[in-house]
Amino acid sequence: MKGDRSLRGLLLAAALGIAALGVVSQAATVAAVVPTCTLCAGGEYQALSVPLRVFSTAPNTNDVAPIGRKAIGVGGGTPFTIDLLGLGAPTFAHRWLPGTVASAGDVLGVMVSLTVLAPTQTGSLTAYAAGSAKPIAKSVNFVRGHSVSNTVLVRTNSAGSLTLSLAGATAGLANVTVDVLGWFSASTFTKGTPDDLTDERGARLSNITRARVLDTRNGAAADTPLGPGVSLTLPVAGAPTGAVAVLLNLTAIQPTATTMLAVVPTALKPGRAPGTQNLNLRAGATQSVLVPARIGPGGSVRIYNRSGNTNVTVDVMGYFTLGALETTRAGRVVPLTLPFRSFDTSAAAFGKVPLGPGQAEDWSFAAFSNSVNIGGSPLGKQTALLGNLTNASLARSISTVPVTSALTMYPKPAAASTKPPVISNLASVEGSPVSNLTVATFDAKQIVRVYNAKGYAHYAFDVYAVVLGD
């Protein structure tokens, strides 16, 4: 076990921006409604009834903007901008926000599934608010010829626009799809009734003791690999009262064919596939994705597999629940203005030391939490982070023996002898970087532990949002 690593890079302030949770001031000639809440609807999750595709470059084979394949640029990448409300392409001209919402300014952040399809070169995709500086954080890492997806929590600009940038060591082309899974409301969100502080109520993130709820490798009658075109019904047992969505870490394990998996709230018609996707992987690969899944009728979600036979594991990471008082803070999710690179074990500032097989190390986020502010005012207590965990490289323990591994982030346990939980956040492979959105929950001293199962892993963590405490 390595000792605690202090986060020297986190001494810089991670400003959220005044628009994050602030109430928009009104003209002096207008009688302003005085809210009885402090944060109102700020940071509450609005789950879509079903995931919705709002952008795709794939339908047009002639590569005519705004649809058509996008360029993978050398160096900094080739950016292009879309309207995340779904107006960026004629084929996807539908809005997912309620019609009474005044503007995109009521959206604090959006949970989207980003997919890079059939890239002709290896590289990365970065998503960020249009007009903002491009962050260091990569949203999706991809390998030539293989489609890949990742869930990302993104801020948009005030017009609801999002910039995407495809970068690689060599120029190429790729298709890109964007599926909206849900969104976080700003303090200004009132559904058009500013005198009614109850109708805009969203859900709060409640962290739980993480648990593995499905492993098709168990060999039990109900636990068999998902076949082609199969939709597995997974009951969300133990969900708290008021839960509308569950955070599931879905891992697909060595499918027999290149496939796509999707999590949807309702049963699919026979022979029908979902119009959105959460996980893409090639035959024989193993990959993870965090999915904010809407809980469907009967308290279940459905996991669809397109091709081949694949084993899956599902770990519950938390729930989005309704019913919290407007005057409380706990469970509100506040996206940072831009993703913040908290640590990278391959960087000189962090020793350039990989995490070895069966080892864990602790990271303190106390300095980071104290630095997070709105307009210079500290945000206050936080209980967890949402961020992109990336295994940048995985090296073998024995040069002749291939290795696959998994990284797990969890609160530092009180007892040094406590074993890691039987869950994983990120399936790690040799040969290329791989990322997954992760819930990093603090212990009482704001310390997070990272465990590596096998091999020698260099990894990084980019913070996208903070979860407020009481």
- Confidence check: pLDDT of 66 > 60: yes
Residues 312 and 362 in one domain: no
pLDDT in tens, 377-398: 888 999 999 999 999 999 999 9
Q: Please measure the distance between the N-terminal and C-terminal CA atoms of the chain and give it in whole angstroms.
A: 32
In this structure, is residue 7 part of a structural domain? no
Reduced to 3 states (helix: H, G, I; strand: E, B; else coil), residue 371 is helix
d(Cα 190, Cα 192) in Å, to the nearest integer? Answer: 5
Residue ending a domain, choose from 202, 221, 253: 202
- Confidence check: pLDDT of 60 > 80: no
In this structure, is residue 35 part of a structural domain? no
Amino acid (one-letter) located at 110: V
Residues 104 and 75 in one domain: yes
Neighbours of 235 (CB within 10 A): 13
Residues 264 and 316 in one domain: yes
What's residue 290's pLDDT? 97
What's residue 457's pLDDT? 96
64 versus 276: the higher-pLDDT residue is 276
Question: CA-CA distances (angstroms) from residue 410 to 9, 354, 423?
Answer: 21, 19, 10
What's residue 99's pLDDT? 54
Q: Name the least confident of 3-7, 205-209, 229-233.
A: 3-7
- Confidence category of residue 431, pLDDT binned at 50, 70, 90: confident
- Read off the pLDDT of each residue in 406-422 and give the average, rounded to a whole number: 91
What's residue 98's pLDDT? 60
Residue ending a domain, choose from 267, 288, 321: 321
- Confidence category of residue 198, pLDDT binned at 50, 70, 90: low
- Confidence check: pLDDT of 26 > 50: no
Sheet holding 230-235, edge to edge: 230-235, 300-305, 259-264, 279-281
Residues 317 and 415 in one domain: no
d(Cα 2, Cα 345) in Å, to the nearest integer? Answer: 13
What is the DSSP track for 391-431? EEEEE-SSTTS---EEEEEEEPPSSTTPPPPS--SEEE-SS
- Confidence category of residue 195, pLDDT binned at 50, 70, 90: low
Residues 59 and 186 in one domain: yes
What's residue 128's pLDDT? 94
Instruction: State whether the Cα torsion 57-62-64-69 is positive or negative.
Output: positive
In this structure, is residue 32 part of a structural domain? no
In this structure, is residue 120 part of a structural domain? yes
Structural contact between residues 270 and 230, judged by C-beta atoms closer than 8 angstroms:
no
Q: Name the least confident of 47-61, 192-206, 238-252, 322-336.
A: 192-206
pLDDT in tens, 74-125: 988 889 998 887 654 444 445 676 655 546 778 889 999 999 999 999 999 9
Q: C-alpha angle 149/150/154, rounded to 5°?
A: 130
Residue ending a domain, choose from 300, 321, 342: 321
Q: What are phi and psi of 369, to 5 degrees?
A: -60, -40
Structure tokens at 429: 């492979």
Tell me which long-range contacts 90-96 makes (C-beta under 8 A, separation of at least 24): 91/56, 91/59, 91/67, 92/53, 92/54, 92/55, 92/56, 94/52, 94/54, 96/48, 96/52, 96/54, 96/180, 96/183
Amino acid (one-letter) located at 266: T
Q: How many domains are contained in the chain? A: 3
Residue with tokens 């050398």: 74
In this structure, is residue 12 part of a structural domain? no
User: Residues of the chain with pLDDT > 90: what percent?
Assistant: 61
Range of the domain at 433: 332-468
Residues 249 and 356 in one domain: no
- Confidence category of residue 375, pLDDT binned at 50, 70, 90: confident
What's residue 45's pLDDT? 95
Q: What are phi and psi of 65, to 5 degrees?
A: -60, 145
pLDDT in tens, 288-326: 999 999 999 889 999 999 999 999 999 999 999 998 888
Residues 296 and 349 in one domain: no
Residues 95 and 189 in one domain: yes
In this structure, is residue 327 part of a structural domain? no
CATH code of residue 291 = 2.60.120
d(Cα 387, Cα 140) in Å, to the nearest integer? Answer: 13
In this structure, is residue 38 part of a structural domain? no
Amino acid (one-letter) located at 425: N
Structure tokens at 115: 């997919």
User: Residues of the chain with pLDDT > 70: what percent?
Assistant: 84
What's residue 238's pLDDT? 85
- Confidence category of residue 33, pLDDT binned at 50, 70, 90: very low
What's residue 340's pLDDT? 92
Residues 292 and 343 in one domain: no
- Confidence check: pLDDT of 456 > 70: yes
User: Could you tell me which of 113, 106, 266 has the C-alpha nearest to residue 180?
Assistant: 113
- Confidence category of residue 432, pLDDT binned at 50, 70, 90: confident
In this structure, is residue 15 part of a structural domain? no
Q: Name the least confident of 5-9, 114-118, 353-357, 462-466.
A: 5-9
Residues 216 and 150 in one domain: no
Residues 243 and 367 in one domain: no
- Read off the pLDDT of each residue in 123-152 and give the average, rounded to a whole number: 94
Amino acid (one-letter) located at 221: A
Residues 166 and 214 in one domain: no
d(Cα 461, Cα 470) in Å, to the nearest integer? Answer: 25
- Confidence check: pLDDT of 287 > 60: yes
Q: In the predicted model, what is the mean pLDDT of the chain?
A: 85
Q: How far is CA 386 from the centre of its chain?
A: 7
- Confidence category of residue 8, pLDDT binned at 50, 70, 90: very low
CB-based burial, 70-92: b 16+ in 10 Å, e otherwise? bbbbeeebbbbbbbbbbbbbeeb
β pairing state of 70-74 and 161-168: parallel
- Confidence category of residue 34, pLDDT binned at 50, 70, 90: very low
